[in-house]
Amino acid sequence: MDPVPASFYGKLDQKNPVITALEQELNDFMGHIVKTTSQGSYIRRASDLFRIWNKYEKLLPAHYYHEKLIMVGVFLAELKLYKLASWQCYGRYLQQFGFFMIDDISDVKTFKTIFLSEFEVEKSSLTLHVLQMNSICCYQMVKEADPKLLNLESQKKCMSILKFLRLIMQVALPNEHLCWLIFNGIVLCSS
């Protein structure tokens, strides 16, 4: 028998059994990932997160699912698990925009065409936040592989990421409700 979607039970609150089950699984995952010390445990936890997202993606409304992706992504980034945050959280969110290379997005018009064709306040701030955090994760992964950025390829990747972050801020700047993204960008880029 197919699992029943959260909408079947009404409101998306703590009384909804789908929401309760998701919250429990995410709390278990986050508790275990904090304690993870070995590579084997890390791989098992990454597999757990993959399974959780696959299980609940079709059971939850898109906006709720996306909010949870971002929440877990921020949590993982704070733990410096940048690859997992990028791959299993931010990357999953960004799949809705298709395949893109940040080097191919060099101006505001192209950026808006790809990511903000239906410019809605709620969705735009979430999308810009995800793009910003994914960029920071990518930058941190480059730095982990080449801490002093001595490799020419590492330098090129970092320049691409910085140009893309600048585009995000250019898009956010004229929208007062997105000023927090500018602040985040400044703080994240200076760290």
If you write DSSP's letter for every residue of 133-166 in order, what string do you get?
A: HHHHHHHHHHHHHSTT--SHHHHHHHHHHHHHHH
What are 72's two structure tokens? Answer: 């877990």
* Interval 98-119 mean pLDDT: 86
Q: How confident is the model at residue 35 (pLDDT cuts 50, 70, 90)?
A: confident
* pLDDT tens column, 142-156: 999 999 999 999 999
| SS3 (DSSP) at 26 | helix
| pLDDT of 14 strictly over 90 | no
The answer to whether the beta carbons of residues 22 and 56 sit under 8 Å apart is: yes
| pLDDT of 97 strictly over 60 | yes
| pLDDT of 191 strictly over 60 | no
Query: Which burial class, exposed, middle or buried, applies to 113 when counting CB atoms under 10 A from its CB (0-12, 13-18, 19+)?
Result: exposed
Q: How confident is the model at residue 112 (pLDDT cuts 50, 70, 90)?
A: confident
| pLDDT of 163 strictly over 60 | yes
Mean pLDDT computed over every residue of the chain: 87
Following DSSP, what letter does each residue of 68-95 receive, concatenated? HHHHHHHHHHHTT-HHHHIIIIIHHHHG
* pLDDT tens column, 40-69: 778 888 999 999 999 999 999 999 999 999
pTM over 0.85, yes/no: yes
The answer to whether the beta carbons of residues 76 and 89 sit under 8 Å apart is: yes
Torsion, CA 19, CA 25, CA 31, CA 33, rounded to 10: -120
End-to-end Cα, the chain, rounded Å: 50
Q: How confident is the model at residue 117 (pLDDT cuts 50, 70, 90)?
A: low
- In this prediction, residue 174 carries a pLDDT of 78
Contacts of 83 (CB under 8 A, 6+ apart): 137, 141
CA atoms within a 13 Å half-sphere pointing along the CA-CB vector of 146: 13
- In this prediction, residue 26 carries a pLDDT of 97
| pLDDT of 177 strictly over 90 | no
What are 89's two structure tokens? Answer: 């959280």
